[in-house]
Amino acid sequence: MFGNYFTHGKAAESLAGDRARMVDTQLRSRGIRDERLLAAMAKVPREEFISSEDVADAYGDFPLPIGAGQTISQPYIVAAMVEALEVNPEDRVLEVGTGTGYEAAILAELAADVWTIERHAELVDKAREILQRLGYADVHVLHGDGSLGLGEHAPFNKILVAAAAPRVPETLVSQLADGGRLVVPVGSRSEQQVEVMRKLGDQISITKHDRCRFVPLVGAQGWEL
Ligand code: SAH
């Protein structure tokens, strides 16, 4: 009788309560205002994307390990990055750094078409499996160096980089559609600032947002291993 009621030992009902509280206490209270995004964060079950030992902490206000030496940011950072992207329902979106697939699921709730690319094959396999299981089978999960984007599927209206770059990857800028936006943490290996680039015709504008700490973007337009 407990089979459906418990997810890895924590009651599903209690996780849903944790999720609703996270949206209020970590997102709304800190200024996340986009109602479509808040609804997506209230819907996507983060506990399904992380390891079973961490399920009790699924909605904790801190990053969690996800395997292959990588981490997923706390919910607020995911929300702040996605809010800065200003996703519209008709957008084609590219995410660099699939990790667990959680953020790709949030993006899939908001956009028409989501492409995501990850350099660790084991994370690609896991993310594909979970996204399929949760009904996000139309998210395209690819294995490769996302610092070079996905030229064959460009342009994208929005590009989100979920790992830290030493500088804004030029190839990604070139794959933005007119009116497009790129959100990327830029800085040193230990500390970065979220940069938002907007492309309008041949004009590029940049605004700088919160300080943050991401795992490195490793690749041709990122850091060396
Ligand atoms: N958005 C993810 C978390 C991202 S963590 C989630 O929702 O779970 C950052 C990820 O970027 C890591 O999984 C790391 O392996 C990946 N990464 C780093 N450099 C990359 C590159 N050049 N191309 C693709 N993925 C990369």
Pairing of strands 64-67, 10-11: unpaired
CB 162 within 8 A of CB 214: yes
Domain assignment present for 224: no
Cβ–ligand 1 contact at 96 (below 6 Å): yes
Please pick, among 73, 174, 188, 190, the residue that the annotation labels catalytic: 73
Cβ–ligand 1 contact at 185 (below 6 Å): no
Domain assignment present for 222: no
The answer to whether 52 is a known catalytic residue is no
CB 188 within 8 A of CB 168: no
Give the three-class secondary structure for 74: coil
Domain assignment present for 220: no
What's the 77 CA to ligand 1 centre distance in angstroms? 14
Q: Range of 52's domain?
A: 9-212
Domain assignment present for 185: yes
For residue 149, give every residue at least 6 positions away whose Cβ sits within 8 Å of its Cβ, in sequence order, or none: 94, 96, 156, 159, 169, 171, 172, 174, 175
Question: Which amino acid belongs to residue 128?
Answer: R
Kindly report, residue by residue over 64-104, the tens digit of the pLDDT: 999 999 999 999 999 999 999 999 999 999 999 999 999 99
Cβ–ligand 1 contact at 221 (below 6 Å): no
Residue 9 has pLDDT above 70, yes or no: no
Which of ligand 1's atoms lies nearest the C-alpha of 71? 5
CB 116 within 8 A of CB 141: yes
The 3 state secondary structure assigned to 134-158 is CCCCCCEEEECCHHHCCHHHCCEEE
Burial of 205 (0-12, 13-18, 19+ CB in 10 A): exposed
Domain assignment present for 217: no
What's the 21 CA to ligand 1 centre distance in angstroms? 27
Cβ–ligand 1 contact at 219 (below 6 Å): yes
* Whether pTM exceeds 0.85: yes
CATH number, residue 188? 3.40.50.150
Kindly report, residue by residue over 191-212, the tens digit of the pLDDT: 999 999 999 999 999 999 989 9
Domain assignment present for 205: yes
pLDDT at 3: 44
Which of ligand 1's atoms lies nearest the C-alpha of 102? 7
Which of ligand 1's atoms lies nearest the C-alpha of 120? 15
Question: Which amino acid belongs to residue 54?
Answer: D
Domain assignment present for 76: yes
The 3 state secondary structure assigned to 17-42 is HHHHHHHHHHHHHHCCCCHHHHHHHH
Burial of 138 (0-12, 13-18, 19+ CB in 10 A): exposed
Q: What's the total number of domains in the chain?
A: 1
Cα–Cα distance measured from residue 222 to residue 203, given in angstroms and rounded to the nearest whole number: 24
Alpha-carbon Rg for the chain in angstroms: 17
Domain assignment present for 80: yes
Cβ–ligand 1 contact at 22 (below 6 Å): no
Residue-by-residue DSSP string for 104-131: HHHHHHHSSEEEEEES-HHHHHHHHHHH
Residue 112 has pLDDT above 80, yes or no: yes
pLDDT at 177: 98
CB 96 within 8 A of CB 65: no
